[in-house]
Amino acid sequence: CRGPAAPAAGPRRTRRRAQPRCQGAKHTRISAVAVEQEQEGLDYSHADAMEMTTGQLRSAFPLAAVVGQTAIKSALLLGAVDPKVGGICISGRRGTAKSIMARGIHALLPPIEVVQGSMANADPKDRKDWDPTLVARIEAGEFPMGSDGMPEFPTQVKQTPFVQVPLGVTEDRLLGSVDVEESMKTGKAVFQPGLLAEAHRGVLYIDEINLLDEGIANLLLNVLTEGVNIVEREGVSVRHPCKPLLIATYNPEEGKLREHLLDRLAVVLSADQPMSMEDRVAASMMAEKFADSAANLADEMEEDTDGARTQIILSRQYLKNVTITDAQIGYLVKECMRGVVQGHRAEVYATRVAKAWAALDARDKVKAEDLSKAVELVIMPRAQPLPDMPPPEEEQPPPPPPPPEDEM
C-alpha cells in the first residue's frame, strides 16, 4: 500500500539491523538481558531477569506464533519502541486474536526499574517522571544524595505493568480518589492511586472500547494526550505522569467506534483479514500446541521472541537520535491533504510512526520506506473515500424523422 514516491531521506547507509540472530535459544535470552542492562542501566542479576522474563513469556501466547496479521504486529512493535506514537486499536470479530496480540506484545517489553513506594512507577533516573509527592520527600531529606546530585532511591525492578480497564470502571477507580480508611487513620486526606497511575510506563489495555462509557473514554484520552493525570477533589490535589502504551480492541458487530475516538488513536487496523487454507491450519495447530503445553510453545518460539525483545530494547536507543526533515514531514502533510484527512493529528502520528520504524531498522534518519509505512498505518485508514461519481445522463432518443412531403 505505498503512496507516490516519497522524498529521499539522505544518503543510503548500510547498518546492521537491531535484531540479532544468536545460536541457541538460551544464548539469545541471556544476550537480551545483557543488552537491556547495558542500555537501560538496570541493576539486577541474570537470574532475576530471566525469572521475570521466563514467567512473563510462558504465561502469554507468543506473538511470534500468531499466524498472519503482519500489519498489526508491526504496529504493536512500533508502540513498544515508542509509546508516545499514540494509541493502537485493533478491530475484529470474535476469535481473531485481538487480545492475544495485545498480551503478546506486553510479554516482549523489558522490566522497568521504579522507586519503591512511588505512586506511579517513578523512574529513578528521570526527574520529569517524579510526582510532587516524591519531590516533597526528596526536599525533606528522606533520601541521601549521590555524588552525581541524584537522590539514592531504594528501587526495585519489576515486570512492565499491564493494566486492563473494565467496561464498568468508575471515574474514581480510573483517576484515583481519597483513601477513606487511611484518611481516617492519619487524620488527613490520603490519595489512593487509580488505574492510570498503575499503568504509567506500561500497557493500558481496553477491551471493547466501543462499549466504554463516553465520559470515561473522554477523561482517559484527555489524560493520555496531556501525559499527566490531575486529581482535585475532597481536599486532595494530586498530579502524576501517565504515559502508557494504549492498546484497544473492539468487535464492530457490537457497535461502531465513535468518530472522535478514532481520531484520538494513532493506528486503527482490522484483524478481519482473509486467510488461506494453509494459514488457518497453521493457526489451529498453534492453538492446539498452546492448549497442550504453553511452556513447550514458548520454548519453540523462544529464539524469535527473544530476538524481538532485544530489537525493542536497541530500537529505543536508536529512537533518541532519529531525525526527520521538513521535506519529509511536508510529504506526510500532502498525503493527508490528498486523502482529505480531517484535523492535524494524522500527520503528527505519522511523523512518530516514521521515526519509530526507522529506529526498528537501526537507522538514525528517516527514509522513504519509513514514510510509506506511516502512510499505510496512519493516513490511509483515515482517508476519505472518493465521492461517488454521478450517473451518466441518459442519452436522449433521436428526434423523429420529418413527415413525408405529401402529408404536409
Other C-beta atoms within 10 Å of 50: how many? 15
Quick one: CA torsion of 201, 15, 300, 77, rounded to 10 degrees?
30
- Residue 347 contacts by C-beta under 8 Å, 6 or more apart in sequence? 329, 332, 333, 336, 379
Q: How far is CA 306 from CA 67, 100, 161, in A?
A: 18, 18, 19
Distance CA 161, CA 340 (A): 38
What distance in Å separates the CA atoms of residue 96 and residue 90, rounded to the nearest whole number?
10
Distance CA 251, CA 186 (A): 46
Which residue of the set 264, 345, 352, 363 is catalytic?
345
Nine-digit cell at 220? 482517559
Whether 90 contacts 72, CB under 8 Å: yes
**127 is a catalytic site residue:** no
**How far is it, in rounded angstroms, from Cα 229 to Cα 233?**
13
The residue written with cell numbers 502524576 in the block is 240
Q: How many helices (H) and strands (E) does the chain have?
A: 16, 11
Cα angle at 117 between 112 and 118, to 5 degrees?
Answer: 65
DSSP state of 406: G
3-state SS class at 77: helix
Identify the residue whose cell numbers are 521504579: 114
- The phi, psi pair for 377, rounded to 5°, reads -85, -30
User: 285 near 4, Cβ under 8 Å?
Assistant: no
Cell of 226: 496531556
145, 152 Cβ separation under 8 angstroms: yes
By annotation, the residues acting in catalysis are: 345
